[in-house]
Chain A
Amino acid sequence: MNARILIPALALGATLLAGCGDKTPTLHFYTWADYIKPELVQRFEQEHGCRVIIDTFDSNEAMYAKLKAGATGYDLLNPSSYMVKLLKDQGLLQDLDRSLLPNLANIDPEYLRIAMDPEMKHSVPYMLTNTGIGYLASRVPDFDPSWGVFDRSDLRGRMTMLNDMRETLGGALKFLGYSLNSTNEYELAAARDVVIRWKKNLAKFENEQYKTGLASGEFTLVHGYNGDILQVMEANEDIAFAVPKEGTSISCDDLVIPTTAKEVAHAHAFINFLHKPDVAAENTEFIGYLCPNSAAYPLMSEEIRNDPSIFLAPEIKAKSEVIGDVGESLALYTKMWDQVKAAE
């Protein structure tokens, strides 16, 4: 009886299917929203006669679950370093063809020294972030850039730390002078006790709202990512950012090509394009994170180059680390973190 309705329905379905076919090569880039300057994408499209379609994910874990279940069609992914390792271990990534990537010679060797894939066999660093402390300069007298600031009882109830086991226990490990990738139970227990002590002074453990909370003055001091705090600095003049002198965590989003990629050559071309010095510099200016490309540094504006939250001071950089894989000890971290959460 529904023939008249079914036919348009089928026609609609057919149109939806037909939308997929196209002749110009199309590169599918799976990344975070607004994580590349749109004009650069257009420039690549013109230079290489290739369309770039950007799709977005909202967490490394969700993206991993999706790929692991067998989703295909993406030519280039942009996961964080720790997720790159997991993707690689699961055999979801292909090795890069270095002959197609001459611009990798520009990558900052200082970063590669601490990177998880220093030879860039299957991943190329895209953007670096580091964690640090954002605070309201007028309401935090005698600020000392140290993790010890969370011991200040005069700021009680006005501070937040990240609700992230590795970041926050990592901060305490750094405070005690240990590696933030420590697998030593004694060191971890000491870090746990420090975080429990800090917890008494914290309003909460918080990953998102700390930005607005700092901008509106609800919090006076927060532990957070430099990119986030730089954004709120534009909104509130009083906000300042500092990297703790004991060192901090550096994390990186990498460019990787999945084994199922169809446009492998164009994916390489895109990675190479993103590491042209002028492109990397322009992209850094736009996003506000640092593309670790030595040849691009001189092309960046004074403002960016003199910003100690983007370019870490050498002595702090020497003490900072990438949050790495701790293998079996991850369970130990989880246990310590649970104890922190349960502590009164």
Chain B
Amino acid sequence: MKRSVIPLLTTLFVLVFFYLPIVVLVVNSFNASRFGGTWEGSTLEWYRMLFRETSVWRALRNTLIIAVGATFASVVLGTTAAFALHRYHTRLQRLHYTLIYTPLVVPEILMGMSLLLFFVAAGFELGLFTIFLAHTTFCISYVAMVVLARLQDFDFSIIEAAQDLGAGWWTTAWRVLLPLLAPGLAAGGLLAFTLSIDDFVITFFVSGPGSTTLPVRIYSMIKHSKNMPMINALSAILLVVTFAAVWGSQRLTKESHA
């Protein structure tokens, strides 16, 4: 039987669709032109400029601190929420489900504004901590939904078996439940991390003095900055770091299976 070329074409098309913009971005980070419309020779000027520009690095640092913190907190809280939603079916849990689900459908601008009003009314000083709280708030919902999906086909007799064999609650959770849920936790965590890193609308409202994050800074650069290609350079560096991390983690998992 002759193999169809359609799957191959589709794959190629999807790859081009996903990766071409990234390639263009990386290429433009070496483009001497400020606007990237035309190629005007290669340069490392944007990288040089980027390394001198401390405010961009401070924004990146803020972004990463918040992303790591919010991912961690939302994975813990989201997982426990998912567990409760899956295990117990009371009327209160139905309300709980609605509460968890709501942030997924509430428009960001509404959430940003209401969180800002809340923080101001509660007397919080706006800054990294309020951004962390805001990001955790919306990330919990995503993590909970991902983990909940994982729990749907989870065989709880394993837990009972572990308990029959004398494992305590802590041992069961740590040695049985957690490893089995790990892929769901990792997926939820990664989702939370990416959502937190590129959030603009909510972050803009709840950020305070000294807590400008990378997306907030980049949006502001559109108005007056001549240095937009600097962001291409930064994105290229982040891409390299991300690909290295993905490649490294794949190697690690392969080795542990072998």
Contacts and interface: CB of A to CB of B under 8 A. Distances in A.
Interface in B17-41: 33-38, 40
A54 B216 CA distance: 12
A70 interface: yes
Given A12-B69, A16-B65, A62-B204, A234 B34 contact: yes
Interface stretch (A99-107, A211-219, A244-252): A211-219
Nearest to A34: B225
Contacts of A33: 217-218, 220-221, 223-225
A37 to B, nearest CB: 12
Interface string A249-272: 000000000000000000000000
A116 to B, nearest CB: 20
Given A2-B80, A54-B55, A28 B220 contact: no
The size class of the interface chain A forms with chain B is 35 or more
- Provide the main secondary structure of the chain A interface: mixed
A331 interface: no
Nearest to B36: A212
B116 to A, nearest CB: 5
Given A38-B55, A69-B113, A71-B116, A58 B219 contact: yes
Interface in A26-71: 26, 28, 30, 32-35, 38, 53-59, 62, 65-66, 69-71
A289 B129 CA distance: 36
A2 B127 CA distance: 27
Given A34-B221, A57-B204, A70 B55 contact: no
Contacts of A58: 204, 216, 219-220, 222-223
Contacts of B217: 33, 56
A71 B55 CA distance: 22
Contacts of B204: 57-58, 62, 66
B125 interface: yes
B101 interface: no
Contacts of A72: 120, 126
B223 A32 contact: yes
B252 to A, nearest CB: 23
Interface string A214-236: 01100000000001000110110
Given A58-B219, A215-B38, A235-B35, A288 B129 contact: no
Interface in A125-154: none
A3 to B, nearest CB: 10
Interface in B219-258: 219-227
Nearest to B170: A1
Given A12-B69, A56-B220, A70 B117 contact: yes
Interface in A274-304: 287-289
Contacts of A26: 210
Contacts of A1: 169-170, 173
Nearest to A289: B224
A19 B128 contact: yes
A127 to B, nearest CB: 9
B76 A215 contact: no
A342 interface: no
A13 B210 contact: no
A325 interface: no
Contacts of A70: 116-117, 120-121
A73 interface: yes
B209 A53 contact: yes
Interface string A61-104: 01001100111111000000000000000000000000000000
Contact of B34 (A16, A59, A235, A289): A235
Contacts of A2: 76, 80
B205 interface: yes
A6 B76 CA distance: 8
Given A54-B55, A70-B120, A235-B35, A34 B226 contact: yes
A16 B216 contact: no
B55 to A, nearest CB: 6
Contacts of B212: 54-56
Interface string B197-220: 000000011011111100011111
A16 B206 CA distance: 15
Interface of B: 33-38, 40, 53-55, 65, 69, 72-73, 76, 80, 113, 116-117, 120-121, 125-129, 132, 169-170, 173, 204-205, 207-212, 216-227
24 contacts: A2-B80, A6-B76, A17-B129, A26-B210, A33-B221, A33-B225, A34-B225, A35-B224, A53-B210, A55-B207, A56-B221, A58-B204, A59-B223, A66-B116, A66-B204, A72-B120, A73-B209, A212-B37, A215-B37, A231-B34, A234-B34, A235-B37, A235-B38, A288-B226
The 10 closest A-B pairs by CB, nearest first: A56-B220, A216-B37, A70-B120, A28-B209, A34-B225, A33-B220, A73-B209, A58-B219, A33-B221, A58-B220
Interface of A: 1-2, 5-6, 8-9, 12-13, 16-17, 19-20, 26, 28, 30, 32-35, 38, 53-59, 62, 65-66, 69-74, 208, 211-212, 215-216, 227, 231-232, 234-235, 287-289
